[in-house]
Structure 1
């Protein structure tokens, strides 16, 4: 019998989508800062793009967690930590929504392990 891991999938997918939205908001904030001449605004835009890439990694992890729980958990955990490092407060909600299923994927045993 195959382990579905629906909770991890749904939370990871929602976290990845919110992460993409947060990355776009960071890019917009960086563009707004560049328009008014703020220093370091291009860095914020670049980190927003990087956060979007990590969010895509989180979505990939959410899909992979259904078949390979540990690998998907690693992907979502990396996406949560690195996304938060990139754009900090913009990534709080997506980070929480990715770290929880990421840790669940790492800790939770699959049904094939339980059969013994």
Structure 2
């Protein structure tokens, strides 16, 4: 299977970066949820919103893991999922995504450039030879 891909080393690296980035994203999301819950306990304004965005970031981290897992099989889809999760995590939880975001975005770049490029097949029409009449 590794010979079917364009650059298997890049795709393996994208797989690893996606999974590690997704795990760090989930850890960052849990940290954001913890801080939001702590703020809600002290009646801080907007703390409930932080908890909600933390839940969203957990889902985004899972999408990053799925994107990393797809890197060797469907590298275009993996690149899209990794890039989407990398950017969406920054939007959701900002600083809590500081480790996961660059890992996921780097994984997306590697998955995109490591994919197998389809080559156009240059077929020349074969001239049909006339059959000899007997």
Q: Do the structures match in fold with TM over 0.5?
A: yes
- TM-superposed CA distance for 1:13, in Å, is 0.5
Tell me the alpha carbon deviations over residues 10-67 of structure 1, each in whole angstroms, 9 at most, x when there is no partner.
0110000000000000000000000111010000000001011011000000011110
The TM-score with structure 2 as length reference comes to 0.80
Matching residue of 2:130: none
The reply to whether residue 72 of structure 1 matches residue 78 of structure 2 is: yes
Of 20, 25, 31, the match for 2:26? 20
Which structure 2 residue ranges, 5 or more long, are not aligned? 122-134
Structure (1 or 2) with the larger CA radius of gyration: 2
**Residues 48-87 of structure 1 mapped to structure 2, 5 A cutoff:** 48-87=54-93
The reply to whether residue 90 of structure 1 matches residue 96 of structure 2 is: yes
Aligned residues: 114
Q: Is the 8 A contact 2:12 2:71 kept in 1?
A: no
- TM-superposed CA distance for 1:107, in Å, is 2.8
Matching residue of 1:2: 4
Q: Provide the alpha-carbon RMSD of the alignment.
A: 1.5
Which structure 1 residue ranges, 5 or more long, are not aligned? none
